[in-house]
């Protein structure tokens, strides 16, 4: 039996009732994801560019854990600096949230609007010594969230699209493969992003995350998006039905900061 899920009794609205240690998912005041209102975001000119010290990695474990496709990277190999981070954070894994409703598979929204999917790069603060220790602190994790949109004009991020297409090799819940990923060449946007204090978007929903949500979506191919749709859920059926995203949570007076003038954000459908 799955410990949590995205439908019926295991759906996000019930997570706080499924496990005593997950009550914060209902009672917390810093839960994620959120809807980012560009009219309420505050520009902070002191926010510097992000510095991805990511490398090529030949020993990445690509896993279908029944909740999401997850790439677990080699420990100690990749770090993140810059932004509002005061010291180095180490990359642990990245994963994707999506659904069969191509217009809404992401977790965060912008002014109530959705992108097709959302990829999360999860880092922990190195000075805390481990991921397990870091989740006990409000600044323990730094998660870079990038929206994914499907394009058919040939301008997709070819490397990321190719890596996502490998998900057809791990369709079954619990299956895995060792793959090589050249994270150094991902070259995600560095200058324009939103940031706020929040939580993990899966149980136990610990309020330990500095969220960094990139403004510019990353484009992927239709073939890559379709590869996600073949993955099986630990609940039975497909992960994409209804999807593996948590709905947006109340902001409870938190301030969302931006590294740029949010009034200049490019609208999307």
Domains in the chain: boundaries: 8-13+31-260
Compute the average pLDDT of residues 82-102. Answer: 94
Indicate yes or no: pTM above 0.85.
yes
Q: What is the predicted pLDDT for the residue at 2? A: 55
Question: Which 8-state DSSP code applies to residue 113?
Answer: B
What the block records as the tokens of 131 is 């991921």
- Per annotation, catalytic residue among 67, 78, 108, 120: 67
Q: Is 116 tagged catalytic?
A: no
Confidence of residue 1 (pLDDT cuts 50, 70, 90): very low
Give the other-Cβ count within 10 Å of 152's Cβ.
9
| pLDDT beyond 90 at 269 | no
Q: What is the predicted pLDDT for the residue at 264? A: 73
pLDDT digits over 135-155, tens only?
Answer: 999 999 999 999 999 999 999
* CATH superfamily of the 8-13+31-260 domain: Alpha carbonic anhydrase (3.10.200.10)
Compute the average pLDDT of residues 158-164. Answer: 98
Mean pLDDT, the chain, rounded, equals: 95
Compute the average pLDDT of residues 186-214. Answer: 97
| pLDDT beyond 90 at 191 | yes
Pinpoint the alpha helices (H) of the chain: 15-18, 24-27, 131-134, 158-165, 222-228
pLDDT digits over 3-13, tens only?
Answer: 899 999 999 99
């Amino acid at each position: 039996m799955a410990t949590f899920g995205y439908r019926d009794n295991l759906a996000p609205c019930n997570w706080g009732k499924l496990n005593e240690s997950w009550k914060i998912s209902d009672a917390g005041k810093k839960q994620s994801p959120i809807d980012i209102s560009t009219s309420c975001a505050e520009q902070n000119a002191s926010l510097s560019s992000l510095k991805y010290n990511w490398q090529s990695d030949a020993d990445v474990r690509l896993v279908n854990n029944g909740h999401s496709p997850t790439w677990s990277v080699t420990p100690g190999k990749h770090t993140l600096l810059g932004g509002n981070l005061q010291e180095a954070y180490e990359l642990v894994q990245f994963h994707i949230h999506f659904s069969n409703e191509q217009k809404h598979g992401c977790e965060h929204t912008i002014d109530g609007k959705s992108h097709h999917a959302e990829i999360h790069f999860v880092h922990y603060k190195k000075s805390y010594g481990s991921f397990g220790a870091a989740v006990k602190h409000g600044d323990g994790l730094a998660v870079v969230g990038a929206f994914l949109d499907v394009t058919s004009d040939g301008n997709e991020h070819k490397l990321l699209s190719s890596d996502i297409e490998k998900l057809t090799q791990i369709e079954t819940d619990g299956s895995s493969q060792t793959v090589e990923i050249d994270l150094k060449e991902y070259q995600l946007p560095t200058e324009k992003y939103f940031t706020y204090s929040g939580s993990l978007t899966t149980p136990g929903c610990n309020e330990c995350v500095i969220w960094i949500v990139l403004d510019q979506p990353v484009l992927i191919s239709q073939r890559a998006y379709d590869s996600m749709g073949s993955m099986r859920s630990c609940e039975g059926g497909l992960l994409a039905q209804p999807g593996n995203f948590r709905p947006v949570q109340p902001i409870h007076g938190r301030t969302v900061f931006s590294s740029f003038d949010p009034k200049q954000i490019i609208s999307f459908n």
